[in-house]
Chain A
């Protein structure tokens, strides 16, 4: 039962942290509940489909279908997160002012919410399909009821942890919230880009700079068993922490940060400038 709890918790937390960041980044935005709900719902539906066709997907592209699918969904999420941050760089200033003047209850509803719904959707899709496959296997185990209970407890614990993260972010004063979430979203995107590179390498493509540059797994592993593994995995999801990154992963990570900051700067320069712009760097 404990094993099932931990496995489901690990997968749920990976998607849940992303949902938490998206919810914090859209605090006070009209219809955001609907869009995020749509993302979660679409993601769960997609996860069931992906799990049902796991064999077929895996057999595509000379047996690398699963890796290429994961890399594609990650790349899509990186694009959507970039779009969100760049859009915010152009419009964020007015929004922050608006939020401070009328409080956080209402603010401009005009946001790239669809982009964030896609981010939520693919995160739930990716992690959810693994949960579905695992839960499906439970039916054939010796103690399905205990395993199912563990799975449900894992789901609840994952949701609770994500909620904790969300409310933690909300404790940040409104004026600084956007700056913080812009940073978080940038690092989230960079981590996803590095992860996408890993999937491409595991698919047999992009076999350049595959040597690990360093290894800090003695300090904190980025996955595996035990609570340190879970802590490392959470950090991996949030900011892309990798214990032993290879050259290509590091390049992807840094290039993504540079690209997002560059595009944000460019977008800001196209808009009439004013005082403090709530964006990083």
Chain B
């Protein structure tokens, strides 16, 4: 019941946004608090989806002020990180909870 109810706003929002125009997503994994690949190349000027698979046991927050993203991905889960259309350039990101090792950069070109 709850599931069915929750579908209504979801369907509405999808209709509003005209979803379904997104590519399948660029897989990135996090293991031992390191991103692989740590340098992610994306096409400039179009939205991109990164599917972040957290293979560590603890949660991580994908954090980037330049990408305007803060996304928590619990341990052993996969999270969608949506990247807005970017001007060509380098956009650093980090795993906030393990910033010593969890560093990466999105390169839009």
Residues of A that sit less than 8 Å from B by CB:
3, 7, 54-55, 58-64, 66-68, 129-130, 133-134, 136-138, 140-141, 198, 201-207, 210-211, 217, 221-225, 229, 243-244, 246
Contact = CB atoms under 8 A, between A and B. Distances in A.
10 contacts: A66-B79, A130-B72, A136-B59, A137-B59, A138-B58, A202-B68, A210-B84, A217-B65, A229-B65, A246-B68
A182 to B, nearest CB: 29
A140 B100 CA distance: 16
A134 B59 contact: yes
Given A136-B59, A217-B65, 14 more contacts: A54-B59, A54-B77, A58-B79, A62-B19, A63-B80, A133-B61, A201-B84, A202-B69, A204-B82, A205-B16, A221-B65, A244-B66, A246-B68, A246-B84
Interface string B78-101: 011010110000000000110110
A202 B100 contact: no
Contact of A3 (B22, B69, B80, B100): B100
A7 B13 contact: no
Contacts of B27: none
B13 A61 contact: yes
A205 B13 contact: yes
Given A66-B72, A203-B82, A225-B99, A140 B65 contact: no
Interface residues of B, number: 34
B6 A198 contact: no
A136 B58 contact: yes
Nearest to B67: A202
Contacts of A244: 66, 68
A217 B82 contact: no
A138 B60 CA distance: 11
A204 B19 contact: yes
Contact of B79 (A63, A136, A223): A63
A141 B19 CA distance: 39
Contacts of B43: none
Contact of B74 (A54, A201, A223): A54
B1 interface: no
Contact of A7 (B69, B72, B79, B96): B96
B47 interface: yes
Interface in B4-55: 6, 10, 13-14, 16-17, 19, 22, 47
A202 B72 CA distance: 12
Contacts of A222: 65
A141 to B, nearest CB: 8
A210 B58 contact: no
B65 A7 contact: no
Nearest to B73: A58
Given A140-B57, A225-B99, A55 B77 contact: yes
Contact of A133 (B16, B19, B74): B74
A133 B72 contact: yes
A126 to B, nearest CB: 11
A14 to B, nearest CB: 11
A66 B65 contact: no
